[in-house]
Amino acid sequence: MKDIQTRADVEFLVNKFYDQVIKDDLIGFFFTDIAKIDLSKHLPKMYNFWESILLGNPVYEGHPMAKHFPINEVSALEEKHFNRWLQIWEKTVHDNFEGENAENAIARALNIARIMSFKMSNARN
């Protein structure tokens, strides 16, 4: 297997991840029923987000935390949800890539999950 090296690699990874996450019984409903994401609009944002993080190309514009607070108000985003998100992400990375950027993708996702879990929990208190 190869490492994550190009935009095409990022797109492949994100697509494989969303194929799994939207049908997951624990967290899929956040995407399909609560946020009602339009994948044709959402996925390009996620490509840019992960390309910025993993390849160092500053193509992402947005505030990911701000998008999650309204979802958290409708249905609590809890630690177990972030853990499942991370589990699916890690499996998707390991199933398709290996190398420094692949490991960085997992490490960065872990940090994102921890921060978001903390902030969503505090927003409910």
Residue 81 included in any domain: yes
| 44-100 pLDDT tens trace | 999 999 999 999 999 998 888 888 888 989 998 999 999 999 999 999 999 999 999
Beta carbons within 10 angstroms of residue 122's beta carbon: 8
Residue 2 included in any domain: no
Considering its fold, how many domains does the chain have in total? 1
| 7-57 pLDDT tens trace | 999 999 999 999 999 999 999 999 999 999 999 999 999 999 999 999 999
The CATH number that applies at residue 43 is 1.10.490.10
Distance CA(55)–CA(41), nearest Å, equals 21
Instruction: Tell me the chain's radius of gyration from C-alpha atoms.
Output: 14
